[in-house]
């Protein structure tokens, strides 16, 4: 449950702020929680950096309760069971609302249901979706993490770089990574489709402020713009909408259609190489590492694309997140990465590239057109194959 709560509350907290200059309105919240007899319930304003308790009520023996609360700003509010935050429900409340909520106080994050408020109903729908998709994602991501840890441990056992042993590891682990990643990709594609439809249904809903954080802005930037542009029609001066606008503008340079920051790093010989030197080329920036199992699974496909399209103006600019220069250099050779543009600062996850290109995992790819603008991000496998065929007009 903690993971679900973190996803929802983190997305709310990222954009939250106070909304002023709205007339105060009475809000009535009635409800019934099972396993809640005599417990104290709290309404908590989570629209501030420091959460604030604004009302409390004691549940009856049968778990029923009523709040008559003054709410003077539309926003996100929790109903907490007790003073801890282990069990709570999140609602979107605005002045004048009359809301009824039900759930199990021992498992509130999974069980709460509301009626009487359109916004809270939408947020409930979003919460249910997150719960369901996390149930599918969690075992696969845990498996991939375990697989990667085992893969890295096996590499660490080598006394020195050994291409024969590495090839055997690739043959052993490659299919396992590929199968699991394919399943995860399908779940995430379903998630993106849901969020697109959710936002399309009502782009002015406050629930989208939380939902947007489940979409990568670099790939789904049009949905960020659609939401903020619609919200600003009615709520332009509301601080949490202003914060969303600030976030959109901050992330804009990393999105499709923009020119990304230049990369200047050393190649295996120590000489500097610049991304910007690849003029009038279609360039795939590939962030990878020799210790990354999923990266190694992708490499044969990249080799095939480079061989096929290089003479037509296709280049690969590989940025390694390795920390061991020998492993990096030997990996380039043993894996047959024949393109010349290989760079690294050998800082692994401490590299400034992580923030500069908003990298949260590897492999991460960024595809640039001949003018140096971003065409796409995170294309892998068949998706990358189709995109390159489209660019190079292949039938």
| Single residue among 75, 91, 115 that ends a domain in this structure | 115
Return the pLDDT at 200. Answer: 95
Residues 93 and 196 in one domain: no
The pTM assigned to this predicted structure is 0.76
- Give me the CATH number covering residue 337: 3.40.30.10
In-domain check, residue 307: yes
- Is position 163 within any domain? yes
If asked whether residues 322 and 219 sit together in one domain, one would say no
Average pLDDT over residues 191-200: 94
Asked if residue 259 is part of any domain, the answer here is: no
Which range marks the domain in which residue 63 is found?
Answer: 2-115
How many domains is the chain built from?
Answer: 3
Does residue 104 share a domain with residue 177? no
Q: Once rounded to an integer, what is the mean pLDDT over residues 252-266?
A: 92
Q: How confident is the model at residue 160 (pLDDT cuts 50, 70, 90)?
A: low
CATH of the domain at 26: 2.60.40.10
Q: What is the pLDDT of residues 346-373, one digit of tens each?
A: 999 999 999 999 998 999 999 999 999 9
Give dist(CA 295, CA 293) in Å, integer: 5
Contacts of 384 (CB under 8 A, 6+ apart): 284, 301, 305, 365, 367
Residue after which a domain boundary falls, among 115, 147, 162: 115
* Domain final position from 210, 226, 254: 254
Encode pLDDT of 283-338 as tens digits. Answer: 999 999 999 999 998 999 999 999 999 999 999 999 999 999 998 998 999 899 99
Does residue 347 belong to any structural domain of this protein? yes
Distance CA 176, CA 144 (A): 9
Q: What is the pLDDT of residue 159?
A: 53
Q: Identify whether the C-beta of residue 85 lies closer than 8 Å to the C-beta of residue 108.
A: no
Q: How many CB atoms lie within 10 A of CB 231?
A: 21
Q: Are residues 168 and 228 in the same domain?
A: yes
Residue 10, pLDDT above cutoff 60: no
Does residue 184 lie in a domain region?
yes
Residue at token pair 């996803």: 7
Contacts of 291 (CB under 8 A, 6+ apart): 151, 152, 155, 322, 327
| Structure tokens given for 276 | 């910007």
Chain center to CA of 180: 19
pLDDT above 50: residue 1: no
CB–CB of 177/362 below 8 Å?
A: no
Assess whether 65 and 185 both reside in one domain. no
Residues 33 and 82 in one domain: yes
Whether 166 and 184 map to the same domain: the answer is yes
Q: 238 and 139 share a domain?
A: yes
Same-domain pairing of 341 and 247? no
pLDDT digits (tens, 9 = 90+) for 46-95: 887 778 888 999 999 999 999 999 987 788 898 999 876 678 888 888 88
Instruction: Say whether both 78 and 95 belong to one domain.
Output: yes
One domain for residues 128 and 149: yes
Do the domain assignments include residue 294? yes
Residues 248 and 272 in one domain: no
């Amino acid at each position: 449950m903690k993971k679900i709560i973190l996803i929802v509350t983190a997305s709310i907290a990222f954009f939250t702020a106070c909304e002023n200059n709205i007339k105060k309105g009475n809000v009535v919240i009635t409800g019934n929680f099972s396993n809640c007899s005599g417990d104290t319930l709290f309404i908590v304003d989570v629209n501030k950096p420091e959460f604030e308790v604004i009302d409390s009520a004691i549940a009856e023996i049968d778990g029923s309760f009523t709040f008559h609360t003054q709410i003077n700003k539309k926003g996100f509010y929790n109903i907490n069971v007790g003073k801890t935050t282990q069990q709570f429900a999140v609602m979107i409340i605005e002045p004048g609302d009359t809301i009824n909520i039900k759930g199990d106080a021992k498992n509130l994050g999974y069980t709460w249901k509301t009626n009487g408020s359109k916004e809270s109903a939408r947020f409930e729908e979003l919460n249910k979706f997150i719960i369901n998709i996390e149930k599918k994602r969690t075992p696969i991501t845990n498996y991939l993490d375990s697989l990667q840890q085992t893969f890295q441990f096996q590499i660490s056992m080598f006394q020195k770089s050994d291409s024969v042993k590495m090839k055997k590891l690739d043959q052993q682990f490659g299919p396992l990574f590929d199968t699991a990643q394919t399943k995860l990709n399908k779940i995430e594609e379903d998630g993106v489709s849901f969020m697109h439809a959710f936002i399309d249904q009502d782009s002015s809903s406050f629930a989208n402020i939380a939902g947007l954080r489940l979409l990568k802005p670099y790939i789904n930037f049009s949905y960020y713009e659609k939401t903020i542009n619609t919200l600003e029609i009615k709520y332009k001066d509301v601080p949490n909408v202003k914060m969303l606008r600030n976030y959109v503008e901050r992330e804009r340079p990393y999105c499709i259609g923009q020119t990304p920051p230049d990369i200047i790093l050393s190649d295996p010989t120590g000489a500097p190489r610049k991304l910007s030197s690849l003029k009038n080329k279609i360039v795939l920036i590939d962030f990878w590492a020799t210790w990354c199992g999923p990266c190694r699974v992708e490499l044969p496909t990249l080799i095939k694309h480079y061989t096929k399209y290089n003479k037509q103006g296709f280049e690969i600019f590989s940025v390694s997140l390795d920390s061991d220069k020998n492993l990096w250099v030997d990996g380039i050779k043993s894996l047959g990465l024949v393109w010349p543009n290989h760079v690294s600062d050998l800082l692994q996850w401490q590299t400034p590239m992580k923030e500069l290109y908003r990298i949260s995992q590897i492999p991460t790819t960024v595809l640039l057109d001949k003018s140096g603008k971003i065409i796409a991000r995170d294309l892998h496998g068949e998706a990358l194959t189709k995109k390159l065929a489209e660019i190079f007009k292949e039938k």
